[in-house]
Each structure stands twice: as structure tokens, then as C-alpha cells.
Structure 1
Amino acid sequence: MSKVPKLAYLIAASAVVAVLTGCVGVPLSGEVATGPLIDEQIDPKYEIVAEGPVAGSTQEQILTDFMNAVRAPTRDYSVAREFLTNPMSDSWKPAASATIRERDKLPTITPALEENSLTYSFSAQAVIDERGLYTELRSPATQSLSFDFERVNGEWRIASAPPGIVLSNKGFEVSFEQQVLYYFDPSFANLIPDPRWFPVRQSSQSRAVQALLSAASPWLQQGVVLTAFPASTTLGATSSLSTGRAVVDLSSEALSADSVTRERMRQQLSATLHTPIVVLTVDGRELQSSNSGQNAAVIEPGAGGPLVVGTGSEFGFSTSDGLSEINELSTVVVESGATAAVLSADRLSVAYGAADGVHYAAVGVDPRIVDSRSGLTAPSLDPFRFVWSAQRGSAATLSTFEIDGTEHPIQSSLPADSQILSLDVSRDGARLLVYLSSPSGPQLLVYGIVRQQGNVPVQLVEPIVLPARSGSPIDAAWVGSSSVATLSSNDDSVAVTAFSLGGPTESLGSVDGARQLVSSGTNTDALRLRADGEVWRPQGSQEWVRTGLDASFMAVQQ
């Protein structure tokens, strides 16, 4: 009987340096010292170990064991390559993609039409491309891969295999880890996340820095976000990372950056590596930087305040003693008969929807109607005081307005035949979340915002398409800088779903009659929904409970 390889996890006894490239230096002082090679390092988490081919294995067993071995990325999938012929091992590209199988659906192996060939069929749930970008399919899709076999020294080996790897959900969880890259918004006030997934123990920190420097982000190329690194900058040869401190060696292109730009480079690396101290070097010599009195960019802007709600007679913060007025804006919103509102981060201005259109008001400034079109959806307000508004019946009617009512039409690919149920600008002002009802079903899209001088929004580009759940779309909201949530109805149930931008989705249960969803923080615990005039909050991962608070609407807080 053939022996099935086992997968083991070796937990390291102590945490040591994680390598950024080739050789490393352990920065115990201000010097950058040479250290051991990458393959000699011990991962501080675990190492995934798979067994190689078993003598006498059939073609089917070789393929099954190969699929188990791809869960071990150590030394560029060295164990998995043992199942391949030498020419195939030399040409195989496991980093081309990683396809994740649908949970609880086992793959099948069947003979192909050609002799000494097998077909591996499975149901795909998500794909990670060669850049580390994760895309979840809206619905699982059946895929079939062909593998050819040859005998090598009397044993079957795979002579032809497609590029990339296939993983179960569990295999993905143990063999890949998320690395978030960070780029600046055009104002350099915020750092915008770009989540990626890389195999563990394959210099994931190094791959993260290399990906950051490669400028392969579509939004970066289209001007939605910016990088401080000069063009063609690459990773040098003496970089290292230890607890709380990173030394990142860069190519000579980095020398062209002035001191302010170098500080911004340092901020990008600090956020990407989750390391407070980053030292930049070129050929081992430190690059001096200066913040020149500038504030550090914000990584995760949060509402940072209690829930804001509106009733027929009040508008303000929810407190243990009832609703607390914000300032004069509370009176303005109540007197207008508003049915929706979005409050600025400084709490000094508000955009709100009323029967006669969308209005803008600020402390010390008389309220003004900025969009008087009929049938408007709830407005959004970005950090630069532009009001976003659209007629519910057609997403193509989306436009932006200055606080004096000056309109700035925005170029986009939003379809005219789709209703726009929800629109929300992210707190960093770089992205727009829209929830559409289209002839082909619900669409959940996150667009990059291109701005011109004066931070005027002019174009929406390259949306991230999230796998919207079936059913009727109701509302959507930003949860944090890297995730959103939706309400969607199916029969009598209203489902709450969280979507990671560049990661798996998560069901958050259901609440009958839910009509609105907002977040007053940066994670799902801060979500609040309104159902039948009452506010609900999450309790655990799938349950929701009443808060005891009544509301006609909940305000979005930027």
C-alpha cells in the first residue's frame, strides 16, 4: 500500500531575524552587520514540512502527494519539485498563481484522453495572482488541469504541469500570510493599504518590500495613490529586520530623494513592515531624512466618537443620557427634516439629504442646497469638503459638488442602467464604495478616485470588484480602511456580510428588517444597523442584539 505524505508544523523555539534579502545583518547597534544566508534562518512562526515521493506510487498517488506538497513553500517549493521530472522542475513556476478550492468540496482525479495523463478537477473559490493580489470569485467555478507523466528510473514523475498551485482553504491558511503595502494619497496625509498575500517562509517581508518598490499597483499607475520612492529604486543587498527595527538597503536611485521624500519613504516602509524604526541605507551608508515639521501620515483614520443618530426631533451623539447635540449643526439637520446625513471628521460640517435635495452646512455658515435633483440617494462627504450625490435610479448620474454648489461632473464607468443604493467615500478620500442593483444582479465596487489640483475629484478608475451576495442590495458601509460590509435581502432575511479588500469574505449573521448599516470605528465590532426604527449591534460573530436606541436614521461619520 502506498504511503500518504504527512504535513507537519515545526514550531520554532525562539524568534530570530526575518530576512529581507539574500544575506542579512542583525542591527544590534547602528552598524549593519553581515548575517547568515536566508535558507539558514529559522522562521519565528513555523515551518511547513511535506514528504517527497514514495517508491512505487501510481500516477494518481504522485499527483495527490504533489498537491499536498505545494502547501510547503520552503526553499522555493523544493519538496514539490521532487515530484517533477528535471526539465519540468526547472521550468515550473509556482509563484504564477495560487487557486483556492471551494471549502468542503473535494477534488477529483480522472484519466485524460491521452495516455499517461490525468485531469485534476476542482471547484475554485479564489485566486491569488503573481503580484499577491487576492480575488474571490462571486460564485465557485469548476476548473480542470492536465498533468502528463513519465517514468524516471522506474518511478512515475510529472512531466508537464500548469504554472501556479492549487490549495484547500486550510492549505491556504497555513501556507500564505497577508502583507499590506502602503501608498500615500495625493495629499500625503494618509497611507492607503494595498493588501497582498505571499507564501510563508519565502522571505515574505522581502517580497512585500520588493512589491512596494515595483510600483505594480494599478491605482498607483493611474494616480489614485502615490509612492515616495524614486522610479527604478530596488532593494539592496544588506537589509535586515529585527524586533522594532528595520534596516532597508536601497539602490542608488534613492540618493536622488530629498530629505522630506526620504522621510515619506521611511513612513511607507514602517507601515508596510509594521516596524516603528526604519533606517534607510544605500550600499550600507545611512540616508538622513527629515519630517520638516510635517505630521506623520495616518494609517487608519477612524470616526473615534459615539454613534450619531437622527430622530424626528433630535440629531446628535448617542450617550447614556440620551442624544447629545453636536453643535449648531444639530438644529440645522432637525429643522430640515433630514433623512440621511454624513458628518465631517472635525464635526464642523455636515452633508444631509432632505425632501428638496442634498444640503451642506458648516458651523458659522448658513446651510446651502448643493444638489436639487429628484430621487437622490444618501450623499457622501469627502475629507476635502466635496459632496458626492447621485440619483438613485441611475448610477451614471453620480456627480460631486463644492460647498457653494459648484458642480464637478466625474468621469466613470458607472452603468446608466443600474440603481445606486449606496455611495460612500472612504475616510482617507482616495476610494469610493458603491453598491448597485444592476440587470445582471447586485454589484459591490470600490473605485479609485483621481483628483486634480485643489483635490477636485475628476475620475473614477479601475474598481475592485467584490463578490456581492445574491439577493436585493440594501446598504453598504466602510468598516475600516481595508474592509466594507453590506446588507442584502433574500426572501424574508437580511444578511450582513463583511468583505476584505484583497481577502476572504465573512458572514456576520442576519437581522430581519435591517435597512441601514454604518460603522463608528475600524472593525466589525463597531458596526451598527437599523431595523424597524431600532439600532442593533453585533454580539459575537453571527449574533445581533438591540441597543435600546431608537433612530430614524444613523449618520455616517468621516
Structure 2
Amino acid sequence: MSAPRGTGGSSLFARLPSRRAAIAMLAAGGAGSLAACSSFPTEGDVFQSDAVNEGGGVLIQTAPGPVDGAAPVAIVEGFLRACTAGLSDGFATAREFLVDSAADSWQPMSPLLLASGSEPLTVRRADDGGVTISGKLEGSLDSTGVLSAQGLDYSESLTLVTTARGQWRIASLPPGAVVQGSVLRTAFTQQSIRFLNAAHDRPIPDPRWLSRKRLEEAALEALLSGPAAWLKDVATTAIPNGTRLQEVKVVDRVATVRLRADASSWGSEAQALAVAQITATMKEVSGIDTVIVMAGDQRLAAQVTPLDAAAEPGAVVGMSGGAVVRGTSTTRAVLMQPSTLGTMGARHPSLGVDGGVCVVSGPSILRVGPGGTQAASILSVGDSPEDAVGLLPPRQDRHHWIWTASQGGLIVVDARGVRAEVAAAWLSDRCVISMDISAESDRIAVRHRDAADPSNQSGERVDAAAIIRDGEGRPTRLGDRYPVAGLTGQGARELAWYSGTELITIEPSQDGQGTASLVIASLGCLEASRSPGPPTANGIAANRLNQTMLLSDSDGQLWSRASGTWRVISTTVTDAGYPIV
């Protein structure tokens, strides 16, 4: 029978103890607690009824099963607590709250739903006799470890029936388990799985949240199963289809990976690339320095070149005295004189892989080809000062395409100014505020707002997406957007790739008070990190690879950080930026 109607309800996670309170109870040796624990995770709330430490930073969480005679709301509350413990016990306790058929068919990790810690879930009896769970979600984690950091309203209804013993159990429920978002770092750790671009000459990192219990195996299985859905059109692999993991053993910081594969079917180049992918992926795991890859009893390529060995952007490019320069010291190289550019007012230089230079001049983008002696206009977006303000600094990608935006619309042109029509359905009613291209040029990051009200920051989003190209490298469309959390703080406009998996922005000081904040967000995370920057910082130059960056300020100064301290390195170089190589 269905649960009887009622109005009872409760706010579940609000009544659960905080991490600090739980630790205090454990330390005091309270009922159901462990007398001594060697360590606890450094982040996240503990809101289960009991917790013990397995070692290696893995916290084992437990929860009681259903209590005889419990009412429907209490059964659902207990089920939610057991879902969090399910990350430790394989959801065995959570299934005790379900009827047998539901327990057999329920898929708790498809997906794992991450509830907001600031807005507790509410459990209440519904008018139709069921029990509803409602609240806010911070995101979700799918069965492959891909996290979607997109806040959503959550509301689901569960049907309960009584068993032959007269006990309430859940008979119908939606896929996935709901847990508090703060447990993410308790049970999982984020790792970058290393795939390849189409040319197999640059890595494309794919961040995943993997179980701490079997991290080495999970990382390799993620690599063998292929890239995340949002990267599938650009990320490739040199590992043959059908390759399976036999085992991985780590001894004295050496990981031996044994694959179920026929090594004789792999060419030497494919072997080297596959081993490079596996090596780069495994070295993301703490405690591994060396990786040996075996196919059956045969060792695959022992000497490999690191995947990102060729991706070194070199010195920063900027403007000084009307000229395009490279470097910030007094011995910096002059790339283009004002006479070549045809103007003393050029800004925002961009150096291409072929040596060609683009600059912004009013509402136009000028380009000087490699070895050229005169700039040519390849794009004009108007003739008024307002048009010039709306033109974003250009980015030259590795395929010789130049990316910018004007009046909120994304624009892509080649070296001659011929436009590429790049389809992006998710930008159709949006206004591009800032954007950047990743180091391998297969991903874009975009800050965008509602086109109907672009001055309103409340509807702002930051998304990453794959850049999909034709066989000649011409961009044709952007893939599905992948939300990035934490970068839409007050006043933030800049956006840059800080590394292969991180984006960076600046939240400027408000009304000249305090200092600017540097905000860094990892792809696939629920929050961003903040640190103070120079007081009036308003511009970022990041090299997209290894967290190297410079900041510019409203006084025309260029800042660098060393050992946690910011210092001015130039007062004569402006509009700094790193080239994509």
C-alpha cells in the first residue's frame, strides 16, 4: 500500500552534525564512535552517525539501517543518510531501505547527486501519499567520474509500501543517490586523464573524480573507456579499442601496468604514444614516479617523450612605445615597429605560430604576416569609439585562426580576414563578455550573459566547450557547454586558461577599497580558490600550461608573483599576453 497522506516534514541535512562536531564526538568516545582515529579529511562535512578511518586519507562513513516501526518520512531520512555512507559500503545499507525489486534495479552512481551544503534538503509527506525530497543541488557526478558543476533545483517523489512484516520500505525512486556535496573530496579525488588531440602532438586533459579506494585502477579504466562526452569530438587516444586492464601494482613508487592486449598489433609510434598517455595519467596519482607498461608479458615502449614537451610558449608579448615587443626586460625583442603597424595606438598584440602578429587598432584588427613590412586590416566592426570598446583582444590558435568578439558576438577569421561560421547553439541568445583559447586550441572558455540585458551580471555564466573543426582545421562549431563554477564574482570580466584544467579571473577591488582577488577554478569542481592580488589589478596574462601568469593594473604596471609576493617587473610594457604554440 502507499504511504498515507500527511503534512509532516523535516530539513534533513540541517540536523546532521558538522564535521567539527562529529570529530569532537569521536574524540570523546561517544556512543557508536571509534575510540581513536589516526586522521581525518581536511575538507568536507561529516554527517553520518559513525566514521572510522581506513588509512591513506580514506574516511569510512557508516549509517544505521531502517528502524522497526519507522514512519515513511523517517525511512526516507534514514535512506538519505545511508546514501552518504554508501560511498564507503557500496550502498549496501541504503538498499536495506528499499523493497527487493527496487534494491536490485537502483543505480546509485548514475548519477551521484550533490546536495547544497548551504540549503538543506527537505523531506516531507506529499499529498499523493508519497514522500518528496526537495532542495538545491550543487552538481552531479556520473558513473565515469565526470562532474557537472551546475546548480539545479531538485524535487523528487518516492513511493513507499509496507512489507509483510508491516515495515515501510521505498518501492519506487529515481536513478542516482543524493549526498551532500561536501563529501566529494572525502570519497573521491580529482585526476586528469590524458587524451590526445587529432594530430597526436598535444595532450587534452580530461578531469575526473575517481574513488580513493582504487585510484590507480580507476584512472586507467577511465583512460581505456575514452574521453568525457563534452570532449569526445576532439579528444582521441593511441590505445587500441578493446584494450582492457589486467592489473596495476605499485611498489617503491614504480607502477607496473599490465594490459590485456596483443602488443604485436601495435606499431612503434602507437606504442610510444599509448605509453606516454598511460605514464602521464598515472603520474597524476600521488606516490608514482615511474611507469612500466606491459601488454601481456611484453613491455611496451620504454622510452617516451612527455606529451607536453613541445608546448612551451616562451616569453610574454606586449606593447611598448607603440611597438610590439617580446619579453619584459630592458633587452626585450621588438617584433613590430609602429611604422610597420601604421599606427602608434595599437593594442593587445597576439603572436601566431607562424610568426604573424595581430593587434587591435580602434574598431579593427590589423595583421602583419611573417616577414611582412606592412599591416593589413583583416576585420573591422565599425567606425565609432563604442565599436572599439566592444572588440575583444584577438587570440591566434594553432590552426592559424583568429578569435575575438564584438558587441557580444563571437567572431573567427583567418589570416586574410575570411570568416568561419562557427555554430554554437548555447550562445545564440547570449552576449560574450570575454573568452580564451586553450593551449592545444581544441577548447574554448567563454564568459557570457543574457543578450537581452548584457549589463546585468546576475545571469552570467562561464562555460568551456570543445572546438570542432573540419579536416583542414577550420572551426565549424562549438560542442556542448561544460559549466565552470566560481568565476562569476562581482565585477569579474577577464578570463584566461591558467593551465590545462584551470581557468583564472580577477575580481577587482570595489570603489577603490581593499585589493583585487585572484580567482582560480578547476574544470569539474564545485568551488574556486581565491587569493589577493595587486590592489588595482585588472588584466591577466597566463601561459595556459603551467600556472605561469602576469597581472597588469590600472597604473600601467606589470606584476609577477614569486614565493607568494607580488612585485612590479615592468612599467613600460602593456597589454601583455602569452602566445599559443
TM-score normalized with structure 1 length: 0.77
1:518 lines up with 2:536 in the alignment: no
Taking a change above 3 Å as real, the CA distance of residues 8 and 555 of structure 1, as seen in their structure-2 partners, is farther
- 438, 442, 463: which one aligns with 2:460: 442
- 244, 249, 252: which one aligns with 1:240: 249
User: Which amino acid is the alignment partner of residue 123 of structure 2?
Assistant: I
| Offset from partner CA, 1:257-279 (integer Å, 9 cap, x none) | 21211221111111222255444
| Offset from partner CA, 1:465-493 (integer Å, 9 cap, x none) | 33562767632111111111235789859
Residue of structure 2 in register with 1:401 after alignment: 414
Residue of structure 1 in register with 2:494 after alignment: 475
Residue of structure 2 in register with 1:208 after alignment: 219
SS at 1:502's partner residue? Answer: coil
Taking a change above 3 Å as real, the CA distance of residues 308 and 8 of structure 1, as seen in their structure-2 partners, is farther
User: Which amino acid is the alignment partner of residue 446 of structure 1?
Assistant: A
Tell whether the 8 Å contact from 2:99 to 2:169 is kept in structure 1 after alignment.
yes
Residue of structure 1 in register with 2:455 after alignment: none
Residue of structure 1 in register with 2:91 after alignment: 77
Tell whether the 8 Å contact from 1:475 to 1:516 is kept in structure 2 after alignment.
yes
SS at 1:366's partner residue? Answer: coil
- 149, 152, 172: which one aligns with 2:184: 172
Report the Cα distance in structure 1 between the residues aligned to 2:326 and 2:206, rounded to whole angstroms.
33
Report the Cα distance in structure 2 between the residues aligned to 1:145 and 1:300, rounded to whole angstroms.
54
Residue of structure 2 in register with 1:485 after alignment: 504
1:378 lines up with 2:386 in the alignment: no
Report the Cα distance in structure 2 between the residues aligned to 1:9 and 1:219, rounded to whole angstroms.
44
- 466, 483, 506: which one aligns with 1:465: 483
Residue of structure 1 in register with 2:144 after alignment: 131
Residue of structure 2 in register with 1:38 after alignment: none
User: Which amino acid is the alignment partner of residue 350 of structure 2?
Assistant: V
| Cα deviation, residue 350, structure 1 | 3.6
Report the Cα distance in structure 2 between the residues aligned to 1:530 and 1:107, rounded to whole angstroms.
43
User: Which amino acid is the alignment partner of residue 477 of structure 1?
Assistant: A
Report the Cα distance in structure 1 between the residues aligned to 2:542 and 2:164, rounded to whole angstroms.
60
Taking a change above 3 Å as real, the CA distance of residues 408 and 171 of structure 1, as seen in their structure-2 partners, is same
Report the Cα distance in structure 2 between the residues aligned to 1:249 and 1:125, rounded to whole angstroms.
38
Residue of structure 2 in register with 1:96 after alignment: 110
- 133, 139, 145: which one aligns with 1:120: 133
Report the Cα distance in structure 2 between the residues aligned to 1:107 and 1:300, rounded to whole angstroms.
49
Residue of structure 2 in register with 1:64 after alignment: 77
Tell whether the 8 Å contact from 1:342 to 1:557 is kept in structure 2 after alignment.
yes
Residue of structure 1 in register with 2:265 after alignment: 256
Taking a change above 3 Å as real, the CA distance of residues 525 and 407 of structure 1, as seen in their structure-2 partners, is closer
Structure 2: gaps spanning 5 or more residues: 1-29, 41-53, 382-386, 453-458
Residue of structure 1 in register with 2:350 after alignment: 342
User: Which amino acid is the alignment partner of residue 230 of structure 1?
Assistant: P
1:503 lines up with 2:525 in the alignment: yes
Report the Cα distance in structure 2 between the residues aligned to 1:149 and 1:168, rounded to whole angstroms.
26
Report the Cα distance in structure 2 between the residues aligned to 1:455 and 1:351, rounded to whole angstroms.
19
User: Which amino acid is the alignment partner of residue 447 of structure 2?
Assistant: Y
Taking a change above 3 Å as real, the CA distance of residues 533 and 147 of structure 1, as seen in their structure-2 partners, is farther
Tell whether the 8 Å contact from 2:216 to 2:248 is kept in structure 1 after alignment.
no
User: Which amino acid is the alignment partner of residue 525 of structure 2?
Assistant: G
Report the Cα distance in structure 1 between the residues aligned to 2:356 and 2:118, rounded to whole angstroms.
50
Report the Cα distance in structure 2 between the residues aligned to 1:242 and 1:330, rounded to whole angstroms.
58
| Cα deviation, residue 131, structure 1 | 2.7
| Cα deviation, residue 525, structure 1 | 7.6
Taking a change above 3 Å as real, the CA distance of residues 502 and 370 of structure 1, as seen in their structure-2 partners, is farther
SS at 1:268's partner residue? Answer: helix
Taking a change above 3 Å as real, the CA distance of residues 345 and 387 of structure 1, as seen in their structure-2 partners, is closer
| Cα deviation, residue 90, structure 1 | 2.1
Tell whether the 8 Å contact from 1:99 to 1:128 is kept in structure 2 after alignment.
yes
User: Which amino acid is the alignment partner of residue 265 of structure 2?
Assistant: S
| Cα deviation, residue 195, structure 1 | 0.9
TM-score normalized with structure 2 length: 0.74
Taking a change above 3 Å as real, the CA distance of residues 410 and 207 of structure 1, as seen in their structure-2 partners, is farther
- 57, 69, 92: which one aligns with 1:45: 57
Tell whether the 8 Å contact from 1:395 to 1:436 is kept in structure 2 after alignment.
no
Tell whether the 8 Å contact from 2:434 to 2:494 is kept in structure 1 after alignment.
yes
Residue of structure 1 in register with 2:18 after alignment: none
Taking a change above 3 Å as real, the CA distance of residues 128 and 238 of structure 1, as seen in their structure-2 partners, is closer
Report the Cα distance in structure 2 between the residues aligned to 1:156 and 1:6, rounded to whole angstroms.
28
User: Which amino acid is the alignment partner of residue 143 of structure 1?
Assistant: S
Tell whether the 8 Å contact from 2:498 to 2:547 is kept in structure 1 after alignment.
yes
Report the Cα distance in structure 2 between the residues aligned to 1:412 and 1:8, rounded to whole angstroms.
60
Tell whether the 8 Å contact from 1:357 to 1:372 is kept in structure 2 after alignment.
yes
Identity %: 20
Report the Cα distance in structure 2 between the residues aligned to 1:68 and 1:300, rounded to whole angstroms.
49
Tell whether the 8 Å contact from 2:280 to 2:306 is kept in structure 1 after alignment.
no
1:86 lines up with 2:100 in the alignment: yes
User: Which amino acid is the alignment partner of residue 136 of structure 1?
Assistant: A
Bigger shift: residues 512-521 or 72-81 = 512-521
User: Which amino acid is the alignment partner of residue 469 of structure 1?
Assistant: T
Report the Cα distance in structure 1 between the residues aligned to 2:230 and 2:274, rounded to whole angstroms.
18
Residue of structure 2 in register with 1:267 after alignment: 276
Taking a change above 3 Å as real, the CA distance of residues 45 and 58 of structure 1, as seen in their structure-2 partners, is same
- 194, 204, 207: which one aligns with 1:195: 207
SS at 1:74's partner residue? Answer: helix
SS at 2:402's partner residue? Answer: strand
| Cα deviation, residue 447, structure 1 | 2.8
Report the Cα distance in structure 2 between the residues aligned to 1:160 and 1:183, rounded to whole angstroms.
39
- 296, 302, 306: which one aligns with 1:296: 306
SS at 2:84's partner residue? Answer: coil
| Cα deviation, residue 159, structure 1 | 3.8
Bigger shift: residues 191-200 or 472-481 = 472-481
Tell whether the 8 Å contact from 2:227 to 2:235 is kept in structure 1 after alignment.
no
Report the Cα distance in structure 1 between the residues aligned to 2:482 and 2:35, rounded to whole angstroms.
36
User: Which amino acid is the alignment partner of residue 528 of structure 1?
Assistant: L
- 219, 232, 236: which one aligns with 1:226: 236
User: Which amino acid is the alignment partner of residue 274 of structure 2?
Assistant: M
Taking a change above 3 Å as real, the CA distance of residues 244 and 366 of structure 1, as seen in their structure-2 partners, is farther
Structure 1: gaps spanning 5 or more residues: 14-41
SS at 1:498's partner residue? Answer: strand
Residue of structure 2 in register with 1:35 after alignment: none
Residue of structure 2 in register with 1:351 after alignment: 358
| Cα deviation, residue 181, structure 1 | 1.3
User: Which amino acid is the alignment partner of residue 436 of structure 1?
Assistant: H
Q: Report how many aligned residue pairs link the two structures.
A: 511
| Cα deviation, residue 194, structure 1 | 0.8
RMSD: 4.1
1:433 lines up with 2:441 in the alignment: no
Residue correspondence of structure 1 range 520-539 to structure 2 within 5 A = 520=543, 522=545, 526=549, 528-531=551-554, 533-535=556-558
Q: In proportion to residue count, which structure has more strand?
A: 1
| Cα deviation, residue 85, structure 1 | 3.7
| Cα deviation, residue 406, structure 1 | 6.1
Tell whether the 8 Å contact from 1:309 to 1:316 is kept in structure 2 after alignment.
yes
Taking a change above 3 Å as real, the CA distance of residues 205 and 226 of structure 1, as seen in their structure-2 partners, is same
